């Protein structure tokens, strides 16, 4: 028996599903077509959120080792700093930058900061296929180094820095944690992995996952990983599920829906973290597709998962 969508989510997502059904799906490898569709979607997600008060944002520039400059956005509560901080890595299947996703992530990060009191750094890392592996993960690691190096001026305790991200950003957050461990720092207090994109080998459709309910499907996944890796051999930092040694990583929070093609790779990664001695909290939410809380923020299950994330952020 195939899994089914949470009844409240079904009601809230039906208009989106109906609209998607009227469009021809983009072909495998069609990055431009996916980007074109992403822009109005992320604008709609931003418009569905309530305005957030009590958060300010300052802009900074990060020079990279290969001569590029990355835009950084530092979000902080106006009520004062907590001493902790989070590098937040946005999602987008390894192929969407903030050029496509900025409105939604500006709203989401502001909400996390307002509700947790923890400031966040959002980096516009470069994406594939224009910038294949290892550029995205190296950009994200450079942003972590920037946050650590500037901790004093930002009012941050360098021992209370965490990394977080969703989808592709969750995979990059896991990769950054591995890089920080293997390069001797910066030390991380926690990693929050939100339905992370961890394994380039997730390509075979699961018959228990109805295709019409997949908000990120197997063709999308093949496209994203293909753009990132090309014909190259994946490193454990680009595809953290391939890492053999998960010891020495920071305490981990991970959540995923059971209608997400990342479900099995996420559960397996959490189990391996725990077996390696890493304190790990895993939530698998029944009836929830990829990014459900962003697509239907008013649903009860969306409010529950966001509350869990806020709880972990406050504990950093």
Helix axes 218-229, 31-47, angle to 10 degrees: 120
- For 2, 9, 118, 256, 258, the CA distances from 287, given in Å and listed in that order, are 11, 8, 30, 10, 6
Residue 307: half-sphere exposure toward Cβ, Cα within 13 Å: 7
For 176-207, b where at least 16 C-beta lie within 10 A, e where not — what string?
bbbbbbeeeebebbbbbbbbbbbbbebeeebe
Torsion angles phi and psi, residue 270, rounded to 5: -60, -40
- The domain limits of the chain are 7-314
Active site residue 177: no
Q: What does the DSSP assignment read for 189-248?
A: SEEEEES----TT--SPPTTS-GGG-SS-HHHHHHHHHHHHTTSPPPTTTSGGG-S--TT
Torsion angles phi and psi, residue 162, rounded to 5: -125, 165
At the topology level, CATH places domain 7-314 in Rossmann fold (3.40.50)
* CA atoms of 296 and 142, how far apart (whole Å): 33
Task: Name which of 82, 21, 291 is nearest 169 in CA terms.
Answer: 291
State residue 1's pLDDT score. 58
pLDDT digits (tens, 9 = 90+) for 73-106: 999 999 988 899 999 999 999 999 999 999 999 9
Residue 108: half-sphere exposure toward Cβ, Cα within 13 Å: 28
Number of helices and strands in the chain (H, E):
10, 8
State residue 21's pLDDT score. 86
Q: Can you give the pLDDT of all 316 residues of the chain as single tens digits?
A: 578 999 999 999 999 899 888 889 999 999 999 999 999 999 999 988 889 999 999 999 999 999 999 999 999 999 988 899 999 999 999 999 999 999 999 999 999 999 999 999 999 999 999 999 999 999 999 999 999 999 999 999 999 999 999 999 999 999 999 999 999 999 999 999 999 999 999 999 999 899 989 999 999 999 999 999 999 889 999 999 999 999 999 999 999 999 999 999 999 999 999 999 999 999 999 999 999 999 999 999 999 999 999 999 999 9
**In sequence order, what are the residues at sequence separation of 6 or more whose Cβ sits closer than 8 angstroms to the Cβ of residue 67?**
none
Structure tokens of 220? 């999308």
Active-site position among 97, 116, 167, 302: 167
Query: pTM for the complete prediction?
Result: 0.97
Angle at 10 (CA atoms; ends 9, 12), nearest 5 degrees: 60
Contact 9/215 with Cβ under 8 angstroms? no
Task: Name which of 249, 251, 271, 254 is nearest 194 in CA terms.
Answer: 254
């Amino acid at each position: 028996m195939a899994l089914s969508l949470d009844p409240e989510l079904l009601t809230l997502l039906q208009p989106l599903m109906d609209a998607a059904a009227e469009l021809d799906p983009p072909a495998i490898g069609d990055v431009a077509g996916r980007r074109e569709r992403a822009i109005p979607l992320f604008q709609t997600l931003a418009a569905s959120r309530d305005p957030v008060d009590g958060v300010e944002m300052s802009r900074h520039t990060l020079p990279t080792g290969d001569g590029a400059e990355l835009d950084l956005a530092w979000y902080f509560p106006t009520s004062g700093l907590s001493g902790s901080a989070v590098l937040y890595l946005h999602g987008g299947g390894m192929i969407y930058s903030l050029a496509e996703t900025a409105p939604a992530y500006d709203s989401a990060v502001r909400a996390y900061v307002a509700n947790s009191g923890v400031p966040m750094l959002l980096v516009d890392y470069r994406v594939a296929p224009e910038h294949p592996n290892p550029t995205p993960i190296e950009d994200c690691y450079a942003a972590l180094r920037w946050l650590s190096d500037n901790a004093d001026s930002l009012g941050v305790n360098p021992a209370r820095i965490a990394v977080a991200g969703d989808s592709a950003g969750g995979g990059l957050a896991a990769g950054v944690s591995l890089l920080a461990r293997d390069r001797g720092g910066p030390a991380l207090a926690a990693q929050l992995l939100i339905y992370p994109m961890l394994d380039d080998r997730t390509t075979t459709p699961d018959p228990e996952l109805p295709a019409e309910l997949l908000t990120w499907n197997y063709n999308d996944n093949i496209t994203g990983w293909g753009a990132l890796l090309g014909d190259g051999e994946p490193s454990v930092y680009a595809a953290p599920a391939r890492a053999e040694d998960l010891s020495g990583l920071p305490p981990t929070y991970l959540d995923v829906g059971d209608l997400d093609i990342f479900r099995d790779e996420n559960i397996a990664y959490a189990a391996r973290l725990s077996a390696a001695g890493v304190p790990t909290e895993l939530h698998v939410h029944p009836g929830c597709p990829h990014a459900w809380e962003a697509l239907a923020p008013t649903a009860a299950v969306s409010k529950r998962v966001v509350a869990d994330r806020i709880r972990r952020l406050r504990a950093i």
